[in-house]
Every structure is written in C-alpha cells, then in structure tokens.
Amino acid sequence: MELRRLGTTDIEITPVGYGAWAIGGGGWSFGWGPQDDSESIAAIRHAVESGVNWIDTAAIYGLGHSEEVVAAALNGMSESERPYVFTKCGLVPDPADPMLPNRRVGDPASVRDGIEASLRRLCVERIDLMQMHWPADNAAVEDYWGVLVEARDAGKLRAIGLSNHDPEQLARAEAIGHVDSLQPPFSLIKRDAAGTVLPWCATNGTGVIVYSPMQSGLLTGAFDRARVDALPADDWRKRGPEFTTNLDANLALVDALRAVADRLGTTPGVVAIAWTLAFDAVTGAIVGARRPDQVDGWIAAGGVRLDDATLDELDAALRSTGAGTGPTLP
C-alpha cells in the first residue's frame, strides 16, 4: 500500500488503519458485546501482516481493555514490524454505572493522568499519536490542548490531535500549538465533515483520519433488519439511529453500493471506504475487525481509486435513497 504523510508530521501511514474500538468488548456504554481476545490479537496481527501500519484505539474502549489487547498483539514484534499506535483520552466511564453515558473530562490533571495510564497499558515510552476524544464538558479547549502540547514537547507523545471537534475549536487549539491530526466521523451516511472540518484541515496542514467509514459495519453489505434485531442487548448499535429509525434508507443505499461493488469486482465495504479516501483532505480511514477474516473484507480499499463515473453513480444513489446528510461528492 502507498504511504500518506499525516499532516506536517514525520508519520507516514497506509490509507487504511486498524480500528480497535470493537475489540474492547462489552460492559460499557458503547461496547459491541462479548469479544474473544485471542481473535482480536489474531485480527491485529493479520492486519499488520497484510500491510496496515497503524492502529487506532482509545482509553475508553472496553475501559482500557482495548489498549491492553493492542499491547498484547504487538508484544514480541521487532521495531521494524511494529505499526504506529494512536490512542485517545478525555472520556471516562460514569463512576456509578459504566453503562451510563461516558463523561467528557478535560481538566489538566485528568488529561495528564490519562496520558500516563495509556503509556502503561500500551507498554510504551512514547505514544505515536494522542488525541482528545471529545470536547470536554468541564474544561476549555485551551486547558486540555495545552497539556497535550506540553506532553508532545516533553517527548511523551510523538504527535497530537483532536477528535470530534469543530472548526472553531480547532482554531482555538491551533493558536496554542499545531493540531497534527483530526479524527471526525465520516462515511457515505455521515458526510457533514466534508463541508466543515475537512476544508479547515486542508488549509491548516492538519492530517485527517476518519472513523466509521463503513458506518459501524452497516455498509459492509452483511446487515439486514433481521441481523440488526439479533444484535446483543449490550451492543450500542441496537440503539443507534442509523440501525433503527434510518435503517430503511441506509439499507437501500447498501443495495446501490452492492451493484457498484459487483461491477468493480469488490465488496460494498471496500467501495464505502474508498469513497471517504477520495476526498483530498483525508489521509486515512480507520476500519475495525473482530476476526482476521474481517480484515480480508476491507484490506483492498487501500488500493482502490474510484473514478468520476463511479463517484457520480454513488452521488445519484445518495440522492435517490435519501440516506445520510452532507455533501455527496468529493
């Protein structure tokens, strides 16, 4: 796979990276249900062996368990074999019940503690990219961004970024220290970033790694209403609007995706990922896998380039189905 420079950093990443959200397992508010750690480790190693050179995780995924599984998967790899590891801080579980909505914290002490905890769980002395997961409810952007800049300057973090922040918040952070990367949600269904944060990042030299390009599995082509109904009770998707109130329009879009994929000799998921990578501001896309065979279902996306005719076909499908919101063409 080709390598793309992440903003102005010295980090060069493959167009697709391994997303470690789902492997955190269940037992928290945005869990994906039970998960076998041995399958997670096998999936990570298979992704790396297949050419993926970065992993994205977060402290909140599985309440720290995802970071621990990532560390276990990379244990024993040589320096030349190891992928970059990106993680996130700033979300903590509700102390009364981890199934309640997460708390968004950004006071300097909490952010510093979060950095140290991730360093320990990942078993590293420096984290390649640390991102603030969401804007904090208890602190200003300047408060937590200053801590990340400080930690980057101290050598604990190679690069720093923001996730789920808007252009105004990005600009406030940039005034303190350069924002190396942004992680927004972006897919054929959730397209709003194309008209808001992507232009800001292109103008300011900020790399972009998008999450949920297959809309949490919905755009793989493997879902229908029966499968959604059969999701475990503690799988957050069972409550998500894209899997409930918006499901009919989204499944109609998947049918159109399938027709495009059949013509190209690939899968709907690969087409969905390639669509996000068609935007010039996007450096890479985060794609999850709970088993090694799921990696095989999307790894080809790193080498697929959609031509104008295909992009126009997908534009027409979005307009006819009414699925999602946001710009429909790169």
DSSP 21-42: SGGG-SSSTT-BS---HHHHHH
Question: Is residue 201 one of the residues assigned to a domain?
Answer: yes
Q: Residue 325 has what pLDDT?
A: 95
C-alpha dihedral sign at 195, 201, 202, 207: negative
Provide the pLDDT for residue 290. Answer: 93
Residue 123 domain-assigned?
A: yes
Report d(CA 37, CA 41) in Å as an integer. Answer: 6
Domain CATH for 198: 3.20.20.100
The span from the CA of 317 to the CA of 254, in Å, is: 9
Decide if 93 is inside a domain.
Answer: yes
Residues labelled catalytic: 61
Q: What is the pLDDT along the chain (330 residues), one digit of tens a residue?
A: 899 999 999 999 999 999 999 999 888 777 777 889 999 999 999 999 999 999 999 999 998 999 999 999 999 999 999 999 999 999 998 888 888 888 999 999 999 999 999 999 999 999 999 999 999 999 999 999 999 999 999 999 999 999 999 999 999 999 999 999 999 999 999 999 999 999 999 999 999 999 999 998 889 888 778 778 777 877 777 677 778 778 889 899 999 999 999 999 999 999 999 999 999 999 999 999 999 999 999 999 999 999 999 999 999 999 999 999 999 999
Whether 50 maps to a domain, the answer reads yes
| 25: number of Cβ within 10 Å | 22
Q: Does any domain span residue 88? A: yes
CA dihedral 236, 238, 242, 245 (to 10 degrees): -140
Q: What is the DSSP letter of 104?
A: E
How many other C-beta atoms lie within 10 A of the C-beta of residue 245? 9
The pLDDT score that the predictor gives to residue 328 is 96
How many distinct structural domains can be found in the chain?
Answer: 1
Domain assignment of residue 1, yes or no: no
Query: Is 142 a member of any domain?
Result: yes
β-strands 16-19, 54-56 pairing: parallel
In a domain, 327, yes or no: no
Q: How far apart are CA 286 and CA 211, in angstroms?
A: 5
Measured between alpha carbons, how far is 48 from 31 in angstroms, rounded to an integer? 24
What domain range includes position 288?
11-321
